[in-house]
Amino acid sequence: MENPQVTPLKRNLQNVIFGKSDSIDVMVVALLAGGSVLIEDVPGVGKTTLAKALAQAMQADLPLRNRHPEHLTSLVMTGVTAMARNTAYAIEQRGDPAFPARQIAEVLSAADITHISNEIPFYVGCEARPIRNLLVLCSKPAYMAAIKLVGTDIIGLTGNHMLDYDIEPFLYTLDLYDQEGLPYYGGGRTDVEASRPLTITDH
């Protein structure tokens, strides 16, 4: 049975692009259902022409994609962060706790969500030791300035150095994150807290 609204639309599309009746059917069904269509094919077979023809046939100024920048969330995720060894030594030499973040803060903070995987604890008694093979790592609490400067929104605690100085510095680190209002995941004061997923909503 022909639909008095759909049939003219399909006919208009078929007048513009030939041999694509199946693709036209899918496009029209998706349109009626309020869905989206991903058109995949080799170059030069009419993908863009079909999308433009659909917009023209509806006499509407429709986007040729369902990507709306105002609805997108920009997410930046760093690799493992560990302000220790030579990095800590450089911080101390410059007297600037936020030194590691100075060159990248503008880029990272511009994201809607900035995720930092900080794999080591903050420790009041931490010392900056530029020893290449040092495997017991920590950061001075003052280095939190670097994490704040890049606009951090989420902290990942899945690094394998979080308990290098045992449980107290780890708990102290969680307290620091709580004081700064920084949500974290992958670790906690209890098994339940450590296993709890972190949900972030944006846009």
Over the stretch 96-147, which tens digit does the pLDDT of each residue have?
999 999 999 999 999 999 999 999 999 999 999 888 888 999 999 999 999 9
Mean pLDDT for all residues in the chain: 86
pLDDT score at 65: 56
Contact 83, 146 (CB under 8 A): yes
Place of tokens 């709890």: 196
* Residue 58 pLDDT greater than 70, yes or no: no
**pLDDT band at residue 20, thresholds of 50, 70 and 90?**
confident
Averaged pLDDT for residues 15-35: 78
pTM of the model: 0.67
Q: Residues 20-41, buried b or exposed e (16+ Cβ, 10 A)?
A: beebbeebbeebeeeeebeeee
pLDDT score at 1: 43
Q: Between 165 and 72, name the one with better pLDDT.
A: 165
pLDDT score at 41: 74
Averaged pLDDT for residues 40-62: 72
**Measuring CA to CA, how many Å separate 137 from each of 41, 146, 166?**
52, 17, 11
**pLDDT band at residue 50, thresholds of 50, 70 and 90?**
confident
Of 45-54, 58-67, 148-157, 173-182, which gets the smallest average pLDDT? 58-67
Share of the chain above pLDDT 90, in %: 56
pLDDT score at 9: 76
Does the CA dihedral 25-31-35-37 come out positive or negative? Answer: positive
* Residue 182 pLDDT greater than 70, yes or no: yes
* Residue 69 pLDDT greater than 80, yes or no: no
Q: Between 119 and 34, name the one with better pLDDT.
A: 119
With a CB cutoff of 8 Å and minimum separation 6, the contacts of 99 are 90, 91, 146
